[in-house]
Amino acid sequence: MKTQDNRRNIALIGFMGAGKTTVSAWLRDNMGLTEVDTDAMIVEREGMAIKDIFATRGEAGFRDCESAAIAALKDCRGLVISCGGGAVLREENVRSLKESSVIVLLTAKPETILDRVRNSDERPILNGHMDVDFIRCLMQKRRAAYEAAADVTVPTDGRSVEEIAKEICAFAFQG
Q: Which stretch binds ligand S3P (CB under 6 A): 70-78, 91-99, 120-128, 165-173?
A: 120-128
Contacting ligand S3P (CB under 6 A), which of 125, 130, 145, 161? 125
CA atoms within 13 A on the CB side of 21: 11
- Told to check if 50 binds ligand S3P by CB under 6 A, we report yes
Contacting ligand S3P (CB under 6 A), which of 86, 103, 105, 149? 86
- Told to check if 155 binds ligand S3P by CB under 6 A, we report no
> Distance of alpha carbon 49 from its chain centroid, rounded?
17
Q: What backbone torsions phi and psi does residue 13 show, to the nearest 5 degrees? A: -120, 170
Q: Which stretch binds ligand S3P (CB under 6 A): 83-91, 95-103, 127-135, 149-157?
A: 83-91
Nearest distance from residue 38's CB to ligand S3P, in Å? 7
| Residue 131 vs 173, nearer CB to ligand S3P | 131
| Residue 91 vs 173, nearer CB to ligand S3P | 91
**Alpha helix positions (H), the chain:** 20-31, 38-46, 50-71, 91-100, 110-117, 132-149, 161-172
Query: 74 CB contacts (<8 Å, ≥6 apart)?
Result: 96, 97, 99, 100
Size of site (CB under 6 A) for ligand S3P: 10
Closest CA to 154 of 146, 43, 41: 146
Q: What backbone torsions phi and psi does residue 78 show, to the nearest 5 degrees? A: 75, 20
CB atoms < 10 A from the CB of 63, how many?
18
Report d(CA 105, CA 86) in Å as an integer. Answer: 12
Contacting ligand S3P (CB under 6 A), which of 12, 81, 123, 168? 123
- Told to check if 40 binds ligand S3P by CB under 6 A, we report no
- Told to check if 16 binds ligand S3P by CB under 6 A, we report yes
Where along the sequence are the contacts to ligand S3P (CB under 6 A)? 16, 20, 39, 50, 84-86, 123-125
